[in-house]
Structure formats: structure tokens, C-alpha cells
């Protein structure tokens, strides 16, 4: 992410670091004055290197009155005591060090705010029965998406697939008009965004998506490979059938995600039917019997070994054999 740049050449890491450091130096001299806050969404979308000064609007609210933004990029698998224990311990000891970011809601009887980012902080505060610190912003969905991406750009606990699924959701909801517009807004290359979106779409094939209890742990590279294989003529039916077989046996959810994807990717090879083949070839002064079974396994049996056979003789025979095997 260190090389990712937004409009105007602004570096994502620099933005994230500025957010962490509290933005530009405060023009307010009095210690009681509100501190300025970096307008991250504006900065990310425009490429400005100096943020306009705003007054922070930090509130302490009941976490139960805060709902997640529908485009947030964490899956529900994160919200367990085990996966949030580090944050629970930290807030219990030192309090909430960084506010979450949210928008004000109107007309929802169940919630007053929707959280753009900070869902683990919300879970920890609710678990501890303590107030959640919120920075309330006014931003449309596209700006909120960029702000969330900037916040999470350097986080190690957001998986690539979580980001991919979030990008897919944002494109489907038309937060960004095109993939290129999304790429420009978040500072990732067009190729990388296209790859992530293709991998995310694989998770929306019901028979394939149901093989993964926690989609956030699915490796993007392998998901992209399987999604690309689906585009081959006749391949989709084979891969879908392999997924259905795993689901019927209950094996998909018991295997690691990478292993499941590997199984799907190799289903094309397993589905091929080969014509049985057996033929004898001269290799110099020796002979070799080449056999292929219906599954495509090829064996070489040298009657007298390779002793006395030159490299050139072996290469010539091998070229003939490979041509006959097609």
C-alpha cells in the first residue's frame, strides 16, 4: 500500500499517518479550543496535501445505538470475544484511544448513528458496557468508502478478501460509476481492483460461496484463478459440479479455503478422459514402452535402462512420444 496514490499524487500511507498524528498543526492556541481534524475523505478524493481546518465533533454514545454502515468492509466473523480480545483488554486498561467515525442517522428508531469504521471498537465497548467515542462526519457514500479505505489501508487485520468483497458491494450499489472510478478514488491500480472484484464475484456463486464459513479468510489470488477458469468454454459446469460434490459430502467447510480452491481448480484435469495408449519406441540401442491410462497418467518403462543412450537420442524419442500423446 505504500506506493498507492490518490488524485494529485497523494500517498495513502501519508494520509493514514496524518490521521493518526492528528493532522496539521492547530491554529488554535488555547488548550480548551477544539482541535482540528484532518478531513480525510476530502483529502483522499481531491488529492489535497493540506487539509482544511475543522472542529472535531467527538461524542460518547451508547454503542447499542450505533449500527454498521452497510458498506463496511469487515465480515461478521470478526465480532467475537476471541477476535476482539486485544481491543477489549486495551480499552479496559487505557480507554478508547481513537474515536470511531460515523454519520448521524435520522428516522431510524433503533439507531442514532451508522459507523463508517470502528466496528471492533464498537464491539469492545458494548462488551465492556462503556460508551463509544465517535467522530461524527457529514459525507456521502462515496466519500465514506474512501475514508474507510484510507483508515484500513495499513491494517493487517483486514484481509484482502474483505476489501475485495467491500469493493464489489460498492460497485454493485453504484457508489462509483465504474471500476476505474473506484480504482482512482482509492489509489489502487486498475488491474489490482479488477482482480479483487473478479475474486469477490466468485464468492457470489452460491454453490461455491457456501463452501466457506468465513469468506474473509479466502485467498484472493486463488479465488481469482478459479474465477478465471470459469470463463473457459465448458469449464463452469465441471467446477460447479466439483463444488456441489464437496458441499454434498460436507467436505468444503472442513477443509482450509486454499485447499478447497485448489480442489476446484484441479477439477478440470480430473474430469478429462484420455484414450488408453501403449506403444514401444526405440531410444538409441534401447527401447521404451509408453503407457497412458484413461485418467491421463503416463508411464515410461525402459527395457534396458538408459545406459548408452545419448541426450540427443533421448530428446528425439521424447519429441516423437509427446507428439503421439498429443
Side-chain-side CA neighbours of 230 within 13 Å: the count stands at 20
Quote the CA–CA distance of 138 and 126 in Å, as a whole number.
Answer: 24
Calpha distance 80→302 (Å, rounded): 61
Domain spanning 160-271 has what CATH number? 1.10.10.2830
Cβ contacts of residue 296 below 8 Å, gap of 6+? Answer: 269, 272, 274
Give the C-alpha distances (Å, rounded to integers) separating 19 from 59, 108, 176, 233.
Answer: 18, 30, 24, 49
User: 283-319 burial by CB neighbour count: b if 16+ within 10 A, else e?
Assistant: bbebebebebeeeeeeeeeeeeeeeebeeebeeebee
According to DSSP, the residues that pair with 61 across neighbouring strands are 132
Whether this model's pTM surpasses 0.75:
no
Q: Which three cell numbers stand for residue 283?
A: 531410444
Residue 28: how many CB atoms within 10 A of its CB? 13
Query: Same fold for the domain at 7-152 and the one at 160-271?
Result: no
Q: How many CB atoms lie within 10 A of CB 79?
A: 17
Which cell numbers hold the place of 20? 493518526
Residue 51 phi, psi dihedral angles, 5° rounding: -85, 145
Sequential pLDDT tens for the chain (326 residues): 344 444 344 444 454 444 444 333 332 233 333 333 333 444 444 444 434 434 457 899 999 999 988 887 666 666 778 878 888 999 999 999 889 999 999 889 999 999 998 888 999 999 999 999 999 988 888 888 888 888 876 666 678 998 899 899 899 989 898 999 999 988 889 999 999 999 999 999 989 999 998 888 899 999 999 999 999 888 999 999 999 999 988 877 889 999 999 999 999 887 777 778 889 988 888 888 989 887 778 888 887 777 778 888 888 888 888 888 76
Please calculate the CA angle 25-99-54 and round it to the nearest 5 degrees.
40
Give the three cell numbers for residue 271. Answer: 474430469
C-alpha 267/C-alpha 270 separation (Å) is 5
Q: State the pairing for strand pair 58-61/132-137.
A: antiparallel
Q: Is 122 helix (H, G, I), strand (E, B) or coil?
A: helix
β-partners of residue 68 are 115
Which residue in the block uniquely carries the three cell numbers 519429441? 319
Domain edges within the chain: 7-152, 160-271, 277-325
Element (H, E) at 277: strand 277-283
pLDDT score, position 138: 87
SS3 content of the chain, % helix, strand, coil (to 5): 50, 15, 40
Half-sphere exposure of 251 (CA within 13 A, CB side): 12
Q: Hey, which CATH number is domain 7-152, 3.40.50.720, 2.60.40.1840, 2.10.50.10, 3.90.1530.10?
A: 3.90.1530.10
| Model pLDDT for residues 300-318, shown as the tens digit of each residue | 888 777 777 888 888 888 8
Amino acid at each position: 500500500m505504500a506506493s498507492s496514490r490518490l488524485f494529485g499524487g497523494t500517498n495513502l500511507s501519508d494520509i493514514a499517518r496524518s490521521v493518526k498524528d492528528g493532522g496539521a498543526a492547530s491554529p488554535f492556541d488555547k488548550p480548551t479550543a477544539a482541535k482540528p481534524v484532518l478531513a480525510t475523505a476530502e483529502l483522499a478524493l481531491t488529492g489535497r496535501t493540506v487539509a482544511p481546518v475543522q472542529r472535531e465533533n467527538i461524542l460518547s454514545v451508547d454503542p447499542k445505538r450505533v449500527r454498521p454502515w452497510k458498506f463496511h468492509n469487515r465480515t461478521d466473523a470478526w465480532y467475537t470475544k476471541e477476535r476482539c480480545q486485544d481491543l477489549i483488554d486495551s480499552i479496559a486498561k487505557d480507554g478508547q484511544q481513537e474515536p470511531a467515525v460515523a454519520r448521524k442517522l435520522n428516522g431510524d428508531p433503533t439507531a442514532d448513528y451508522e459507523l463508517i469504521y470502528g466496528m471492533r471498537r464498537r464491539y469492545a465497548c458494548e462488551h465492556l458496557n462503556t460508551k463509544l467515542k465517535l467522530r461524527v462526519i457529514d459525507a456521502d457514500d462515496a466519500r465514506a468508502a474512501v475514508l474507510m479505505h484510507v483508515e484500513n489501508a495499513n491494517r493487517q487485520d483486514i484481509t484482502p478478501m474483505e476489501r475485495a468483497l467491500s469493493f464489489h458491494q460498492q460497485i454493485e450499489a453504484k457508489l462509483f460509476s465504474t471500476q476505474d472510478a473506484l480504482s482512482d478514488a482509492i489509489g489502487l491500480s486498475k488491474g489490482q481492483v479488477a482482480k479483487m472484484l473478479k475474486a469477490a464475484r466468485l464468492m457470489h456463486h452460491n454453490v461455491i460461496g457456501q463452501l466457506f464459513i468465513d469468506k474473509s479468510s479466502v485467498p484472493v489470488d486463488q479465488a481469482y484463478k478459479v474465477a478465471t477458469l470459469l470463463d473457459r468454454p465448458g469449464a463452469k459446469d465441471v467446477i460447479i459440479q466439483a463444488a456441489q460434490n464437496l458441499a454434498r459430502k460436507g467436505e468444503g467447510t472442513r477443509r482450509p479455503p486454499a485447499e478447497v480452491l485448489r480442489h476446484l481448480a484441479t477439477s478440470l484435469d480430473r474430469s478429462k478422459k484420455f484414450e488408453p495408449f501403449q506403444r514401444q519406441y526405440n531410444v538409441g540401442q534401447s527401447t521404451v514402452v509408453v503407457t497412458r491410462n484413461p485418467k491421463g497418467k503416463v508411464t515410461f518403462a525402459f527395457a534396458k535402462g538408459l545406459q548408452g543412450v545419448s541426450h540427443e537420442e533421448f530428446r528425439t524419442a521424447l519429441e516423437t512420444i509427446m507428439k503421439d500423446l498429443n
